[in-house]
């Protein structure tokens, strides 16, 4: 059975976050392994587990409250105040490796998937299910190529297309 909540007005006030006294840094893996100087209330979710770190005056609870996001593999640095600069966080994006490596989503890719498929620099096997659905939706003529592999041009090595020297 759950414990009854305390009578109104008797609950402890939420603990106010205290910034570290000096520069600190750590690699964000998950909220459970974050150091004690990180407020656990900053835990969030943005394409996976994330920290929503306060920016500017929000660092001290003053509005407007804006945040920056640190994702798994990113290095989070707290830079202590100096006479010329206020205390602040810096997030250095980590290199995607292993489980946190993701492929760019197709709609923000600089290459046209249709052109890459027609030219042979990409095969239907290179596409995930979402990308296949997008190509079929945009280019119905490529439906057989995507779904059955029929009519695919001979694969071309990217080094044959891009000048490397």
Residue 53 contacts by C-beta under 8 Å, 6 or more apart in sequence? 42, 67, 68, 69, 70, 76, 89, 91
Q: Is residue 17 part of a domain?
A: no
Measure the CA–CA gap between 157 and 108, rounded to whole angstroms.
23
What is the residue whose two structure tokens read 């890459």? 116
71 shares a domain with 116: no
Please check whether residues 31 and 81 belong to one and the same domain: yes
- Each residue's pLDDT tens digit in the chain (165 positions)? 445 555 666 556 667 778 888 999 999 988 899 998 898 888 988 878 889 988 876 666 666 678 889 988 899 999 988 888 888 899 998 876 665 555 555 554 556 778 888 777 788 888 888 788 888 888 888 888 888 877 766 766 655 555 555
On whether residue 151 sits in a domain, the answer given is yes
User: Do 111 and 133 belong to one domain?
Assistant: yes
Are 115 and 155 within one domain?
yes
The residues near 86 (Cβ < 8 Å, ≥ 6 apart) are: 59
Alpha carbon 78 to its chain's center: 20
Residues 64 and 122 in one domain: no
Q: What local confidence, expressed as pLDDT, does residue 76 receive?
A: 93
Domain interval for residue 150: 106-161
3 in a structural domain: no
Q: Let me know if residue 88 belongs to a domain.
A: yes
Cβ count near 103 (within 10 Å): 11
Co-location of 83 and 141 in the same domain:
no
- Alpha helices in 111-162, H assignment, sequence order: 113-119, 129-138, 143-148, 158-161
Judge if 118 and 53 occupy the same domain. no
Residues 38 and 88 in one domain: yes
Burial 25-44 (b: 16+ CB within 10 A, else e): ebebeeeeebeeebbeebee
The total number of structural domains that make up the chain? 2
The answer to whether residues 24 and 37 touch, using CB atoms and an 8 Å cutoff, is: yes
The answer to whether position 15 is within a domain reads no
Q: Give this prediction's pTM.
A: 0.51
Q: 94 and 36 in one domain? A: yes
């Amino acid at each position: 059975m759950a414990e009854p909540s305390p009578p109104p007005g008797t609950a402890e006030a939420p603990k106010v976050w205290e910034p570290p006294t000096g520069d600190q840094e750590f690699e964000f893996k998950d909220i459970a392994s974050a150091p004690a100087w990180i407020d656990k209330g900053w835990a969030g979710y943005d394409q996976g587990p994330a920290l929503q770190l306060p920016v500017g005056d929000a660092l001290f609870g003053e509005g407007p409250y804006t945040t920056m996001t640190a994702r798994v593999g990113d290095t989070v640095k707290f830079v202590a105040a100096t006479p010329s600069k206020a205390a602040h966080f810096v997030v250095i994006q980590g290199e995607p490796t292993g489980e946190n490596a993701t492929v760019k989503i197709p709609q923000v890719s600089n290459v046209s998937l249709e052109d890459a498929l027609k030219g042979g620099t990409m095969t239907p096997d290179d596409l995930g299910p979402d990308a296949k659905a997008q190509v079929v939706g945009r280019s119905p003529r490529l439906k057989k190529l995507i779904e059955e592999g029929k009519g695919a041009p001979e694969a071309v090595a990217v080094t044959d297309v891009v000048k490397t020297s």
